[in-house]
Amino acid sequence: MRFSVAKVKFPSLINSLLAILSAILLTLAFPDYDLWFLAWFALVPLFYAIEGEKESPVKSFVLGWIFGTCFFFASCSLYKNGNDDEAMLVLQRIIVSEPMSAEAFFLRGMINLRRGNLDESVAQLRTALFWDNRLINAHVALGKIYLQRGDCLQAKNYAASAIAIDAENQDAIGLVRQIERCGK
């Protein structure tokens, strides 16, 4: 009985694979891969899959979610590989389509931090926390930024928030130890 309910709500395997294919093609259109021409038709498989599931708005939504999730993780891999410019482009597209994506704002904040743009990093990280106050890494990053700026009180507040989320988090514990030496 349970599987029949899932079958009603989820798109077919073929259409799901088409959504994933669209995400892969769009990712390959970024400058690192030098396949820019793929951008012209990368969304065709997604649109074809949605057309195949047009009788159910729920299935169409799930296809869009599959596409967006795959595309998001591709942008995460660009960030981890240090491809900041490409990652920022992908993250901007994600924010345009999903303006409440805390993870996208968090990654933009971390890229700006890596680039040394502290003010922009703070703005992006605060926006991430506005949408999801449980992002412990954003609290830790903000604490480190304020510690670097010499604002011990703000650093202490973000460290306390991080510890409140997870008292066992090693980055948060390390931040608390650094703050203990702040102003001495």
pLDDT at 79: 65
pLDDT at 22: 92
* pLDDT band with cut points at 50, 70 and 90 for residue 31: low
Lowest mean pLDDT among 49-53, 82-86, 105-109: 82-86
Give the mean model confidence (pLDDT) for residues 2-19. 76
| 79/27: higher pLDDT | 27
Listed in order, the ranges of the chain carrying CATH 1.25.40.10 are 121-184
For residue range 139-184, what is the model confidence (pLDDT) as tens digits? 999 999 999 898 989 999 999 999 999 999 999 999 999 988 876 6
Over pLDDT 90: what percentage of the chain? Answer: 46
In this structure, what token pair is assigned to residue 89? 């482009």
Average pLDDT, rounded, for the chain = 86
Return the CATH superfamily for domain 121-184. Answer: Tetratricopeptide repeat domain (1.25.40.10)
pLDDT at 7: 57
